[in-house]
Amino acid sequence: MRPVNLFIANAGGTLDALVDGVTGAFEEARAVVQDCLNVEGVDVLVIDAPDDAIPEWGVGGYTYGPHAILVALDPAVSIGRHHILATLVHEFHHTVRWRGQGCGGTLAQMLVSEGLAQLFEEEVLGEAPFYSRASISDDEVAQARATMYDPEFNQKKWFFGADGITFSFGYTYGYRVCKTYANATGKSSAELIGVASGEILELGNQ
């Protein structure tokens, strides 16, 4: 099994107060995902990058394919260890899905990958993130379904509130679809990593 590594970019010392919390959260997340998802071969880089962090948490995450995760921190925010843990768990789920079905390419792929990662957070930590609970409309859902498999889509529009779409729409809708599918099939988010987005959307939209 290839290692799962943590690198904290802290040459300037701006993350000194967060090193212990980050390290502890990483160790806990690594134990969980190695047990549930058989995660291996991933590097996690933690940086001081307030503009890339979720304002409410002071933490943000991004997965660069199957082997690399970036965690952005805002040291000016009082960061809860739980939020670091939730971000890591979420992004680790993405790394495993990247190795099969993938997490991007179409709106359908991204909705399902984000929905499953939020569902995984809920299953292992007891709570889905706040952005899984946005107030979205039937009209927005209809618009999304009409463009689900277009070869190009506007990620900012569907996930970050551009062009009149509710902020976090994609996260909330993806979570609902995946939750519906998981409940209907009796399978966990770990068991659904290899299931095609089209199958999950077909059942989850009913």
Longest dimension (CA), the chain: 52
Same domain, 118 and 192: yes
Flag whether pLDDT at 146 surpasses 60.
yes
Same domain, 94 and 118: no
Cβ–Cβ < 8 Å for 201, 173: no
Residue 206 — very low, low, confident or very high, per pLDDT cuts 50/70/90? low
Domain boundary among 98, 130, 159: 98
Domain boundary among 80, 98, 116: 98
Full-model pTM:
0.95
Quick one: which of 88, 98, 97, 180 has its CA closest to 132? 180
Same domain, 115 and 188: yes
User: Could you read off the pLDDT of 170-193 as tens digits, one per residue?
Assistant: 999 999 999 999 999 999 999 999
Do the strands 59-63 and 68-73 form a parallel or antiparallel pair, or are they unpaired?
antiparallel
Cβ–Cβ < 8 Å for 190, 171: no
- The residue behind tokens 């701006």 is 14
